[in-house]
Each structure stands twice: as structure tokens, then as C-alpha cells.
Structure 1
Amino acid sequence: LLVLRYSYSNDITDLDKAMPHLEKSIEYYELLVKLTKDTYYYANSMQTAQRRIPIGGDDGNNKTWAELLPHYERELVNFKRNLDLLKSSKDGKIVTKEAKPWQTAEVTLLSESKGTYAVKNGTKVYGTPISELTKVAPELQNLKGITFDETSQNENGTHLKFKNTKAVKLVVGYFNSDQKRFLFPPSLETDAAGNAHGQAEVILASAMNLKELPRVNIHTYTFEAGENKLDLGKGRVLILGFIDANQTITPRDVGFIDAGEKGAIDWLFY
């Protein structure tokens, strides 16, 4: 209720007051997992893609208390990060600042590609009307995204091999969704290697809008010069291109929220 209250009050103290309750809820949930790990198996009704609350049960996943715990832990970590971002901003509000396009970098693709696309308004990243870009952060507007087939991403994951003569950052866009068809962003809470390339932090929050797909948060993966590869899990994700790793990048919340989100507070947990 305190988090919901913040959406009306815009008072950060509401979020501060909510923090111990959220932390305590994780403690109670951990106890629930401990008490049921040897006695509770699963509920058949939880093993369905139609169930979306609290998260999809596609392919029989997320059917036990233990399987759901990492999702709640990730939300708490994200909440703490976003609260810190709010506190460090002027007047407790994240102000959209003017920004310049990042300096791009040239690489040689070694894996097969379906082509590239300009990261700008009007581009259909998957070639479909619902995937049309409607808002793009200024930092991204010189990039050339690498085209992937969405079906292949869902079934096989996303794989890219390339060669670079200097250090680069690969810009990756994660959809702000908990649905299985979208790849979850990297998290140290659930993957010990989740920051091997400096990718765990959200660099640009709410940085892109698409016509009928969730908004996009931007992460970057750093690669030294040489032959490199990126292997991501199953689910849609945007490979938006390469930038010079030596430039200064300022993390921020761009503030492109989805239609109907009216001061949305969901972003606090993503």
C-alpha cells in the first residue's frame, strides 16, 4: 500500500517506509520455501501458460514456492536500485535530460545475420506492425540494430559472433515484462555470471517504446578487442548495435512509459 501511495504522493518517504516491509516479505517467503521444500511438490493448476499471476507457468515452470523465490528476490533488488536512483535525483524526481547519441563502433560479424536496421522511430525491429519503434532515447539514435527472427529467439535463444579491433560495448534491449516470451535481464541474484561483461546494471531505463510491445530497458556488454561471442537464453531481446567502450556513459531513466501507465510504479521493480 505504501508503494501504491507513492504513485499519488510522489513522496520518497513512502518508499522508504515500504522497504522494511518488502524485505520482511522476502524473509517470510524464504521460510515458506524452507518449510515446504520436502513436503510440497506442485499444484497442477500452476502449470499453465494461461496463468500470468504472479508469473507465467509455461512448460511446467514456476510451479513451486522455491521456483518463484528468485523472481521476488530480483524484484526487491530492482526496487532498491531504483529507490537509490530516485534519491540521487533532483527533488526526488527523475528528470529527463537532454542527451547526445553514443559514439558507435565498427565490428565484423562472424555469425550469420538477417541484416541490420536503423534504431529510430518508424523502424519495425521484427518486421511486424506491433514491433514498430515509436520512441527512442537520443543516446540510441545512431545505432544499427542486428536483425533476429523472434521465433528463433524464443526457441533457440540469441547467439552472435563478431570480431572487434578495439574494446566495444554491445547495446542490448530487454523488454520490461515477466512473460516467458521475453528474455529476462541479467541478474546476479539468479546467475553468478550475470555481470561477466558489466551487463547487470540498467544503463537506460524505459528507453524505447514499441507500438504494441513492452517498453525496453538498455543494458551494455563490454568486450575487449578480439573474436567474441554473445550467447543469450530463450526469449525476445533486441541486439541494438555496438558503441565505443571508452566513452563516458551516464545511466538514467529516460522516462518513456507505456500507454495507460499514468505515473506507473511497476518500473520500480524492474
Structure 2
Amino acid sequence: MFSKNKKYNIKLKTAFLMLLSVCIQATAQTNAWKPASFEIVKFNYKTFKTTQYAHIFSGSKHNIVRLAPELQGLTGIELPVTYENGANSTLQLKFKESVNILIGVFQDISTAEFTPLNSAKLLIENGLTVTGLPPMNVYSVSYAKGIQLINPVNRPFAILGVVKASEKLEFRNAKLPDGKLWNPTFIVEGFSDEKPLFEIIGGENKPVIDEGMSGTEGIQGGFEGGRVVKVGDTYHMFPTERAGEKGVDYYYDRVKTKIGHWTSKDAIHWKRESTIYQASGTYAVTEDDNPMNDRRAAIWSYMPVFNEKANKWYGYYLAYTVSKEIEPNHSFGRIWRCESTVEGINGIGGPYKDMGIIMEPGLDSQPWEGRQGVASFFPYQVGDKYFGFYSGAYPFNSWADYPKKSGKGWFVALAESKSLEGPWLRMNKGLEPIKTMHPQFVENPIVSQLPNGLYIAIFDGGPDGWGHHLPNMIAYSLSADGVNWAEAHYLPIETKVDKWWDIMRTPLCLIPEGNDVYTIVYNAIDLKRRFHPTGMVKVKLNKDVMESKLRELKK
């Protein structure tokens, strides 16, 4: 899992103060500018709503991740990033009144090179952050009533909206960050030129499990990771409970963990049934992977899988050695397999017995697995074979960096086996992680199949926090064969449910409910609080897009 050392509480407080500063700055000018209507003449340009996640260029993955509140909700025009051979060289707009067009220009472009800005007025410095691109300044350009020509040059710029000439426009520096920090760019479902595979159709506007609710007693830090499955009409959730210890600060929440078993009839109202496993919480006595250390100091990422052949539930989970002094404090992960002692599909609640370690650091490990690997595991069947996503984090450049000099990155690769019991072997000896999904961050993928046979992995897309500039959304990737995985798409669920979180974390399921509707249960973080709650959202599958994706991936 995403790890922090004992300075976690300091990082948390720092992040909160930064968030508070941004909020205070935003409230200084919270009113969005009033839009003016316009009509696009002659050329078939698309429009977009100027808001977070909007893809502002046609045929491009660059999207807005920060914007000044004055711009929120305006109607922009989707232009190409560059103009080649005079294509789309003239944009004609028709106005019913005098207006100001708001134009975004990247700071590394001189306004002298940009024809429409010769008489432009700088309004907002650092007013927009677009993934993978320099900071954007916002200018206003006045136009009279009637049909007007906007003549671009071969430089990327954005039309962010049109406002009435009477609107009071005042200069300020919004101090938004450089978009090049978000590297690479990424596709936000429903905001790009692609038709979305999933439509967010609703869900709960607040956590479904929160601090103080029945069953949360003794769980100081809330939840992160695990899996939800549905048996009959009952949902079964096996989350990592960040229990911690009374009187010990935040960082210990992720050391003394539990695997809980919760049930629900609607994925909203949950009841805690039992504790499946309890970590020891014992810190290591050496800094290396040494058998003197307690290798079950923290337990995470429990994945229940029903084995039809054995007619019982198997559980796969992660056990860590824990260091007080070295980041990440979770180190040298080992994947354990356990079995329910109760046969049949209804034996999901256990009790479970350990059957041994199926993956661990060893001679076939590679430096990219890092200090934290093996950091998660999820098995799935393809034909008569089984594959398993396993992960690594805090990579070493080479084994010369072992055990303390680790870098940043959260990666996955595949293991293979002839059975769920194993043995599990790293494919291609683990030489390279799978970077087609995302080159920097893929965490805790859970695999299932769509109705047409496409494999889908839903996973944690990475935080926009703690110094990391990542999508901060639930992600999915598709595969036609279960081995080769496509570029991730990200689900902006806050467009349809109230955003109660600052940092989105781990999806626990993608459960089909009939009529192409799926349930996603997820964990997320409110930076103002120690407790990490659990949420729920519903999405609807677009079958036409699903079929086009299958054709595309089979090429």
C-alpha cells in the first residue's frame, strides 16, 4: 500500500494547511464570471465546460486539473493543440452583444507572437493548470457585436469562455501550479473526445462507513484497500482496518492493522461481523529483510477468491515488515494464501487457516519491486491458466541501493500459475513492470470480466497529495487477453456525487447489478481527519463502447 514513515502526521498537517491556504485564497474571489452567449460560425468546433478535468484541446489528453474559480462553468471552445497547413486556421464567432473572450496562453509563449493578444489585457496570472503543459495565463480580448474572426497562429492557446463586456474583470495572480508537474497526461472518462465506457449515475453523497458508526470502535485510522464481493443478495467486504493503538500517533494506524469482515444488503448500511486477521504491530530490529524481524507486523490488502474446484474460499493477503526509521515504513512484503475452513460459497466468513507464502522477495525479484515489494496480489483465470497482478513500490535503481536508498514509483507485473494454489512464477522473471496502464502509479488492481469477455482491472489511480501529482481518481484498464493491458481511464465520480474527500484511494470492487449497472465501493481521505472513510458509487456500462473497445484491443 501507499506508505509513509513516522513523519506521516506532520505530512498530514502540512497538507491540510496547504489545502486551507488554497481554500482561503479561492474564497477571496468565489464568484464565477457571468457568461455571454455565442455561436460558432462556419467551422465545426466543439465546446466544453470550463471545469476541472475538461480536455481543452481536440484529440489531446491534456486536461484541466486546477482553475481559478472565476472561470468555473464558462463555455470554452475545443481547439487543436497546433495548427498545421492552415487547417482550422480561422475561427468565426457570432455575438449578440459586445463581449470579452477569455483566452489562455501558456507562459512560455510571447504575446507578441500571438495575433489576437496584441490588444489583450492580462487578467489572471497562473490562472489555469493543464496536465503536462506550462502554467497558463488568462487574457481578455474585446469583440463587438456581430460575426468576428479569431485568427490563431501555430501556437497552442485555449478559448476558455466568453463573458459580457459589462462584467467587472480585475487582475490577480491565482498562483496555481505548473501543469508539467502532472506528467504524463491522462484520460478522464466523459471529458475527453472518446465516448465513456462508464457513466457515473449516482451513489451516496457521504461516506457509507464513517467514524463513530457501529463496528468502527477501535479503528482510529479508518480503512484502506481490500475487496468487496457479492454472494447472493449480500455484500461481503474485507477491508484493511487502520486500527492503530490508543495514545499512539497517526503513523501507527497503518502498522497495527486488522482485516475485518463486514456485510451489507445494499452496500450502504454495513455491519461488522468479525476479525479475519490481526497484525502484530511489532517494529523490526534490523533494517534489512532479516528473519529476526516480525514479518507480519502490518497486514493489508485481503483478496477473497472462490475456488470452484476446491469448493471453498481462498484469501490472498499481504504481510509486511515494519521499520520505524526508514521510508517506506512498510517493507519486504510477502503474499500469504489462506483457505476457509467452511466449504461452499457461503463459507466466505471463515474462519480461515493459513496455507503458506506464495510470493516473497527472492532470487527472482527485480529492483523495480523495491523496498515495499511484494506489495499486493490479485489472481484471475484466463482459459486454463491463472495470472496474478503483483506489485512493487519504492524501487531501487539497482541492488546496490538495497536496502535503504529507494526511489518513487508504484508498479505492477504479472505472475502465472496452473492453479490458484500455485506455485506462482514471475513472468519474464519480472524484468519489467507493466507501464502501458500508467508509467508511474498502479496500485491494488482487481480483475473481472465485462459481458463481452473483456478483462477489466479497476485500481487506485494515485493521489494528488503528499507531493505527488497524480490523477486522484479511481482508474480502470482493459485487456482482450488478460495479459496485455491498455492505457488507464479515470472516473471523475465527484461529478455526480458530493465530494467529501480530498484524496481518492482504493476501489474495492466492480460488482454487476443487472441492467448494465455496477457498484463500486471505495476508500478515500479527508485531510482534515484521521479517520479514512468508505464510500459507494454506481456506474452504468455503455455496451456500444464496450464492443468498440474489444474490436480495438483485438487488432
TM-score by length of 2: 0.26
Spell out the pairing of 1:149-164 with structure 2 (5 A cutoff): 149-152=80-83, 158-164=89-95
Equivalents in 1 of 2:178, 2:80: separation in Å?
24
Which residue identity lines up with residue 162 of structure 1 in the other structure?
Answer: L
Change over 3 Å in CA distance of 1:186–1:154 after alignment to 2: farther
**Which 4+ stretches in 1 moved above 6 angstroms?**
none
Equivalents in 2 of 1:104, 1:252: separation in Å?
19
Equivalents in 1 of 2:84, 2:69: separation in Å?
27
Structure 2: 5+ residue runs without aligned partners? Answer: 1-24, 182-555
Identity of aligned residues (%): 18
Spell out the pairing of 1:99-110 with structure 2 (5 A cutoff): 99-110=30-41
How much has 1:206 moved relative to structure 2? Answer: 0.2
Residues 65-91 of structure 1, C-alpha deviations (whole Å, 9 max, x = no match): xxxxxxxxxxxxxxxxxxxxxxxxxxx
Residues 240-270 of structure 1, C-alpha deviations (whole Å, 9 max, x = no match): 1211111111111111032799xxxxxxxxx
Structure 1: 5+ residue runs without aligned partners? Answer: 1-94, 179-183, 262-270
What is the CA RMSD across the aligned residues, in angstroms? 2.9
Equivalents in 2 of 1:121, 1:239: separation in Å?
15
1:28 aligned partner: none
**Structure showing greater relative contact order (alpha-carbon pairs closer than 8 Å, 6 or more residues apart):** 1
Which residue identity lines up with residue 250 of structure 1 in the other structure?
Answer: E
Contact 1:209 1:256 in 2 (8 A): yes
Change over 3 Å in CA distance of 1:232–1:126 after alignment to 2: closer
Spell out the pairing of 1:28-67 with structure 2 (5 A cutoff): none
Change over 3 Å in CA distance of 1:128–1:156 after alignment to 2: closer
2:97 aligned partner: 166
SS across alignment from 2:160: strand
2:174 paired with 1:254: yes
How much has 1:153 moved relative to structure 2? Answer: 6.2
Residues 20-44 of structure 1, C-alpha deviations (whole Å, 9 max, x = no match): xxxxxxxxxxxxxxxxxxxxxxxxx
Contact 1:157 1:232 in 2 (8 A): no
Contact 1:107 1:164 in 2 (8 A): yes
Contact 2:128 2:135 in 1 (8 A): yes
Spell out the pairing of 1:1-270 with structure 2 (5 A cutoff): 97-126=28-57, 130-152=61-83, 158-178=89-109, 184-186=110-112, 194-195=118-119, 199=120, 201-258=121-178
Change over 3 Å in CA distance of 1:259–1:160 after alignment to 2: closer
How much has 1:159 moved relative to structure 2? Answer: 2.5
Equivalents in 2 of 1:231, 1:147: separation in Å?
15
How much has 1:164 moved relative to structure 2? Answer: 1.2
Query: As a proportion of its length, which structure holds more helix?
Result: 1
Equivalents in 1 of 2:137, 2:89: separation in Å?
17
Equivalents in 2 of 1:185, 1:151: separation in Å?
16
Which residue identity lines up with residue 111 of structure 1 in the other structure?
Answer: K
Residues 196-245 of structure 1, C-alpha deviations (whole Å, 9 max, x = no match): xxx1x311100000121111100111111122111122111101121111
Change over 3 Å in CA distance of 1:226–1:210 after alignment to 2: same
Equivalents in 1 of 2:180, 2:79: separation in Å?
29
Change over 3 Å in CA distance of 1:213–1:128 after alignment to 2: farther
Contact 1:154 1:235 in 2 (8 A): no
TM-score by length of 1: 0.51
Contact 1:168 1:243 in 2 (8 A): yes
Contact 1:157 1:235 in 2 (8 A): no
Equivalents in 1 of 2:146, 2:60: separation in Å?
37
Equivalents in 2 of 1:166, 1:242: separation in Å?
11
Equivalents in 1 of 2:141, 2:179: separation in Å?
29
Which residue identity lines up with residue 111 of structure 2 in the other structure?
Answer: P
Equivalents in 2 of 1:109, 1:157: separation in Å?
13
How much has 1:128 moved relative to structure 2? Answer: 6.2
Contact 1:135 1:209 in 2 (8 A): yes
Which residue identity lines up with residue 36 of structure 2 in the other structure?
Answer: A
How many residues are treated as equivalent by the alignment?
A: 156
Query: As a proportion of its length, which structure holds more strand?
Result: 2
SS across alignment from 1:194: helix
Equivalents in 2 of 1:169, 1:185: separation in Å?
17
How much has 1:118 moved relative to structure 2? Answer: 1.1
Contact 1:154 1:236 in 2 (8 A): no
